[in-house]
Structure 1
């Protein structure tokens, strides 16, 4: 089971996450500074993959993406 607090920390913390939503198997995230995203930490937390393109970060987590995104939104 994914820990939303650990994922949020690996995304650079609440102050770095501008937007997050679940999309089928991915967390789609807009961040203020993509250099703060710890891809290795996300993978060690169970992410199947991480894609960074500018300020857009997608974290492949599987079918629980919606639930994780909602839990992270509650932390923001």
Structure 2
């Protein structure tokens, strides 16, 4: 799951561009520093469902039933684990 989380981090503009992220059932929800750094094409290439929703600095991405695992893995990477 760590490798997949790293791909999501890259698509979200890198670790320094993610303010917060959490997995909630089938979605990743969070905020980014600069929405312009989010690579929507890369996100689509990760097999997400539908189109990511960007509103200001907020983002929602439907990833499926592993959203909580991805969210946890991203947060562990961000905390340096």
TM interval, shorter chain, is: over 0.9
The count of aligned residue pairs is 76
Match of 2:59 among 41, 57, 60: 57
Structure-1 separation of matches of 2:66 and 2:6: 15
Q: Which residue of 1 aligns with 2:4?
A: 3
Task: State the superposition RMSD in angstroms.
Answer: 1.3
Larger Rg: 2
Q: Residues of 2 paired with 1:17 and 1:69: CA distance?
A: 12
Distance in 2 (alpha carbons) for counterparts of 1:59 and 1:38: 12
TM-score (norm 2): 0.88
TM-score, scaled relative to structure 1? 0.94
Q: How far off its partner does 1:48 sit?
A: 1.0
Distance 1:16 1:61 in 2: 20
Alignment match, 2:38: 37
Give structure 1 stretches of 5+ with no counterpart: none
